[in-house]
Amino acid sequence: MELFADIILPLSGSGYTYRIREDLSGILVPGMAVSVPLGPRKIYLGIVHRIHTKPPSYGNIRETGAPVWDRPLVSTEQLAFWEWLSEYYMCSLGDVMRFALPSALKPSGFSDEEFFQDNFKPRRERFLSLAPGIDNPTRLNETIDSLARTKAQQAALIAFCGLLPEEELFDGEIPMKRLDVRPENIRKLIERGILVAVDRESPATDGRLQALPPTLPSLTERQREAKEEISRLFQNKACVLLHGITGSGKTEIYMHLIARELETGHSVLYLVPEIAMTAQLVRRIQAVFGNRVIPYHSHLTDRQRAEIYRKLNRDEGGYLVLGARSAIFLPFPTRSLLIVDEEHDSSFKQTDSAPRYHARDCAVWLARSFGARCLLGSATPSIESFHNACSGKYGLVRLTERYGSARLPHIIVSDTIRAAKRGERKTHFNKILLDSIGETLAAGRQIMLFQNRRGFAPYVECVRCGWTARCPQCSVTLTLHKNEGVLRCHYCGYSAPLPIRCPECHADAPKPCGFGTEKIEEELHRLFPDARIARLDRDTSTSVRKFETTVSDFAARKIDILVGTQIIIKGFDFPGVSLVGILNADNLLNYPDFRASERAFQQMMQAAGRAGRTDDCGEVIIQTAQPDNPVIRQVREENYEEMVRTQLSERRIFSYPPFSRLIGLSLKHRDHELLSIGAEMLVRDMRNHFGNRVFGPHTPVVERIGGEWLMNVLLKIERKKSFAEAKRTLANILRDWSLDERFRKIFVSINVDPQ
Ligand code: ADP
Ligand code: ZN
Ligand code: ZN
C-alpha cells in the first residue's frame, strides 16, 4: 500500500503532501525532519505531520527524502502543541515551525549538496576514559608503574586521573580538550589500551552534571508553608498561582521545587520576562544548580540555540532551562514543572509576528495537556490569573511578608497640581521629591526614578483641575492626533474635537501631555550637578553589554541616580536603593487601554518594590495630578485585591476580558484609500455575522509604518459563546474577503488575546 506524509514546511502556506519512498515506510514517523523538494529547484527541511494512505487530489506527487536525523526532531507532544498554537492563535503550522525551530535546524538549498551543507552539524568532541580492564586502584597503580620508562605518557595518565573526582575515576570521562598534555602522548595511551576515546556530540554542559541535591537556602517558616501548600495543591490542580509580595522570597521557593523535580530526573522550564534575563538572576540560580542551568534567550546565536534544542531533544531530563518566552518551544520531557515568574508581564506575549502567542497561557495549556505542573508567580498577578485562581481553576498560595527584617516601603502621593499652584514645582519635580532626592544623596544612598515609556502616547489633560479626555464608551483615555486636531478612542473609533476650554473647570484649554526619560536626565544634571546619574531605556540599552554595565555600575554604587522606563523596575535587587520616584503616574493611568489601571497598579507596585530591600525602610514618592484616582489610593494602601475588584466590575460592565475574549486584526497597505475601503468591507462582512461585537475600523496611534498605512479592527466575543467557533467563522470571512482582487495585497495580521 502506498503511504503519504503531510509535511509541515517553514512557509505560510499549507497542505503539502508527499509520497513516502518504499524503503522509508516504517522508518518515517511523525515529528521526523526530512528533506523535501518544492517547486522546480528548491529543497526544504520539513517535519512529518501525519502519515496516511490517502493520495492528495493533485497529480505529480513528489517523494520525501530521507530523515535528516534518526530520531524525531519534534516530539508527539510538541506536534500537538504546534497544532494547538496554530488553531488557537489563527496561524499556519508553517508559521509555528518557522518560529519554533532555530534557523540552523531548518536548512534549505537549491541542491542536495547545498541543503546538506547548510545542515546543522553538531559539534563533535572526543571524550576519554580509563579502559574497562583498569577498574581498581591496584590495576591503576600497576599501569602507572609500567609506564616508568615513558615518563611523558606516565605524566599524561596521572594528569588524566587528576581531573576526575575520586569516586568517578573508573567510570567517569572527561573531554579531551581539558587534558593539557601533548596529543601524541594521549594517542599512545590509547594505542596501548590504557585510555579509551569516544567521539560524540558535545553536551551543552561540560563534564558531569552538578550533583544533587544542591545546597539550598533554608526557607523561613512562612516560605516552607507556602512551598508545602503549592505541592499539596498540585495533587489536584495543574496550575497554581503564587501571589507573593516583592521581596517575599518567591525565587527561594522556586529553587526548592526545582531541586525536587531535578532529583526525580525531570527537567524544569523557568520563564522570566526578557529583560529580567540579566546576569543577576542567572548567577543566583547558577550558584545553586551549576551547569544544570541552561539560559535561553534572544541574545544567543542561532547555533547556540540549535545546540540547546538538539541537546534537550536527545538527552534525558535533569536540566533547568531559564528562559524568555521563546523557551516554551524547546523540546521538553513531559510531566515536568513549568514556572512562569512575573506572570503578569506583557512581554510574555509576542505581538510583532506570528505565532502571536502568550507564553504563560501556553505553559498552562502544556501543563494541563500533558500532566505537568505550572506555577505562576507574581507580586501583582494579572487579573485573568487571579480570576482563575478565585474561581478555583488554579490553586492559590499567598506570601504576605518580606524576607528578613525588610519592610515594604512607605508610599507618599504628591499632588502635582497643588504643588504647581503653591509654586512648589520645578519643571517635572515636586519639591517633596527634590528634597527627598537631596536627602538621600546626602545620606549616600541610591535613587531610582521611573518614567513610563508609554507616556509618548499623547493624551490631553487640564493642568488646572486634572480633567482628562476619555471615551464615553470604552473607559479609556482618548489619544490626541495632533495633525488633525482630534481626539480618538483606539478601541471603538469614537472621536471628538480637541476642546477649546476644559469641560470641567472651564478655565484654559487642556494641554497635550507626555514627556520622556531623556529630558528628565537632563534636568537632573542641572538640579544635582554633583550626582552621578545614568539612564536606562530602549534607547540607551542598545546592547546587552551596555545594559549590564549600567546595571552592575548601579549595583556597585558607582551611580547615584538611575532614571529609566519600565525596564529598570523588573526583578532587580539593589540593596542600596532607598528612594523610588514615579515621575508621572498619570501617564500610566491615562494610557488608552482597558488594562491601563491594572498595568499602572502593577508597575507602581513593582517600582515601589525596588525600594528598601534591605532593612532600611524605603520611601516611594508618586507624582500625580489625580491623587484621588482609585488606583493611586489602592497603590498607597497596597490593596491589590481592591484593585482587582474595581477592575473586574468595570470590565464586567464593558465586557472586557476575562468576561470576553478579544481578537485584534491589523490591516496594512501602501494605498490609504484602498486600505480604508478594504477595512470597511471587511468590517461590513464581519458585522453580518458578529453584529455589534465588531469595533472599528480605526487608526492606531502610529498610523503609518515604513510607508504603509495601518488600520485596526477589534472583535469581542463574550465568554458564553464558543471562541473556537468564532475563530472558524472569522477565518472563513477573511478567506472570502481576500478573494476580492482589490484586497489581495492587503496584509492582515491576527492577534488573538491582544495584550
Ligand atoms: P521575590 O522574588 O519574591 O521578590 P526574592 O526571592 O528576590 O523575592 O527575595 C528577596 C531577597 O530576600 C533576596 O535578596 C533573597 O536572596 C532574600 N531571601 C529571601 N528568602 C530567603 C531565604 N529563605 N534565605 C535567604 N535569603 C532569602
Ligand atoms: Zn471607545
Ligand atoms: Zn479643568
Q: Whose CA is nearest to atom 14 of ligand 1?
A: 573
Q: Whose CA is nearest to atom 11 of ligand 1?
A: 247
Cis before 697? omega within 30: yes
| Helix residue spans in 357-444 (DSSP H) | 359-370, 383-390, 416-421, 431-442
Predicted pLDDT of residue 77: 93
For range 205-228, the mean pLDDT? 85
- The answer to whether residue 228 scores a pLDDT higher than 80 is yes
Nearest bound ligand to the CA of residue 462: 3
Q: Give the whole-angstrom CA distance, residue 700 versus residue 704.
A: 9
Predicted pLDDT of residue 598: 96
Nearest bound ligand to the CA of residue 571: 1
Q: What is the three-state SS of 516-575?
A: CHHHHHHHHHHHCCCCCEEEECCCCCCCHHHHHHHHHHHHCCCCCEEEECHHHCCCCCCC
Counting from 1 in the atom list of ligand 1, the atom nearest the Cα of 609 is: 4
Which amino acid would we find at residue 17? Answer: T
Predicted pLDDT of residue 456: 46
Predicted pLDDT of residue 205: 57
Substitution candidate for ligand 1 out of 282, 403, 569 with most atoms within 8 A of CB: 403
- The answer to whether residue 516 scores a pLDDT higher than 70 is no
Looking up cell 535587587, which residue turns up? 573
Q: Whose CA is nearest to atom 24 of ligand 1?
A: 217
Q: What is the DSSP letter of 292?
A: G
For range 7-28, the mean pLDDT? 90
Q: Whose CA is nearest to atom 16 of ligand 1?
A: 249
Range scoring the smallest mean pLDDT among 13-27, 185-199, 317-331, 527-541: 527-541
For range 594-610, the mean pLDDT? 91
Gap from CA of 508 to ligand 3 centroid (Å)? 7
Gap from CA of 589 to ligand 3 centroid (Å)? 17
CB distance 286 to 292 below 8 Å? no
Counting from 1 in the atom list of ligand 1, the atom nearest the Cα of 223 is: 23
Q: Whose CA is nearest to atom 25 of ligand 1?
A: 217
- The answer to whether residue 454 scores a pLDDT higher than 50 is no
Nearest to 550 by CA among 448, 452, 451, 455: 448
3-state secondary structure of 142: helix
Confidence of residue 281 (pLDDT cuts 50, 70, 90): confident
Predicted pLDDT of residue 702: 64
**Top mean-pLDDT range of 79-88, 257-266, 283-292, 465-474:** 79-88
For range 327-343, the mean pLDDT? 88
Q: At what angle do helices 383-390 and 640-654 cross, to 10 degrees?
A: 100
Question: H or E stretch including 115?
Answer: helix 112-118
Q: Tens of pLDDT along 49-68?
A: 999 999 888 778 899 988 88
For range 359-380, the mean pLDDT? 95
Gap from CA of 476 to ligand 2 centroid (Å)? 7
Gap from CA of 252 to ligand 1 centroid (Å)? 6
Predicted pLDDT of residue 202: 64
- The answer to whether residue 172 scores a pLDDT higher than 70 is yes
| Helix residue spans in 443-491 (DSSP H) | none
Predicted pLDDT of residue 316: 73
Gap from CA of 256 to ligand 1 centroid (Å)? 13
CB distance 238 to 367 below 8 Å? yes
Gap from CA of 606 to ligand 1 centroid (Å)? 15
Confidence of residue 571 (pLDDT cuts 50, 70, 90): low
Gap from CA of 625 to ligand 3 centroid (Å)? 11
Question: Cell digits for 270?
Answer: 523557568
- The answer to whether residue 257 scores a pLDDT higher than 70 is yes
Q: Tens of pLDDT along 610-636?
A: 887 665 678 999 999 999 999 999 999
Q: Tens of pLDDT along 102-159?
A: 988 988 888 877 777 666 666 677 888 898 888 888 888 899 899 988 889 999 998 8
CB distance 366 to 373 below 8 Å? no
For range 390-419, the mean pLDDT? 89
For range 342-365, the mean pLDDT? 95
Substitution candidate for ligand 1 out of 223, 230, 251, 378 with most atoms within 8 A of CB: 251
Range scoring the smallest mean pLDDT among 498-507, 511-520, 618-627: 511-520
Cα separations in angstroms, 65 against 20, 37, 512? 8, 8, 62
Counting from 1 in the atom list of ligand 1, the atom nearest the Cα of 246 is: 4
Nearest bound ligand to the CA of residue 654: 2
For range 503-513, the mean pLDDT? 82
Confidence of residue 455 (pLDDT cuts 50, 70, 90): very low
Gap from CA of 239 to ligand 1 centroid (Å)? 23
Nearest to 339 by CA among 390, 300, 285, 387: 285
Counting from 1 in the atom list of ligand 1, the atom nearest the Cα of 217 is: 24
Counting from 1 in the atom list of ligand 1, the atom nearest the Cα of 250 is: 3
Looking up cell 521526523, which residue turns up? 32
Residues comprising the chain, all counted: 755
Gap from CA of 557 to ligand 1 centroid (Å)? 21
Predicted pLDDT of residue 466: 80
Gap from CA of 509 to ligand 3 centroid (Å)? 8
Range scoring the smallest mean pLDDT among 286-295, 318-327, 419-428, 473-482: 473-482
Q: Give the whole-angstrom CA distance, residue 420 versus residue 429.
A: 10
Q: Whose CA is nearest to atom 10 of ligand 1?
A: 247
Predicted pLDDT of residue 599: 93
Ligand 1, CB cutoff 6 Å, lining residues? 217, 219-220, 223, 244, 246-252, 403, 573
Predicted pLDDT of residue 207: 60
Q: Whose CA is nearest to atom 5 of ligand 1?
A: 249
Q: Whose CA is nearest to atom 19 of ligand 1?
A: 249
For range 433-451, the mean pLDDT? 93
Predicted pLDDT of residue 613: 67
Substitution candidate for ligand 1 out of 220, 245, 246, 252 with most atoms within 8 A of CB: 252
Q: Tens of pLDDT along 295-331?
A: 998 788 888 899 899 888 887 788 999 999 999 999 9
- The answer to whether residue 78 scores a pLDDT higher than 50 is yes
Which residues, at least 6 apart from 461, have a Cβ–Cβ distance to it below 8 Å?
467, 468, 510, 511, 513, 586, 590, 625
Counting from 1 in the atom list of ligand 1, the atom nearest the Cα of 218 is: 23
Name the region of 299 (left: φ>0; alpha: ψ -120 to 50; beta: rest): alpha
- The answer to whether residue 206 scores a pLDDT higher than 60 is no
- The answer to whether residue 242 scores a pLDDT higher than 90 is yes
3-state secondary structure of 697: strand
Q: Whose CA is nearest to atom 18 of ligand 1?
A: 249
Predicted pLDDT of residue 388: 96
Gap from CA of 593 to ligand 2 centroid (Å)? 10
3-state secondary structure of 275: helix
Predicted pLDDT of residue 59: 74
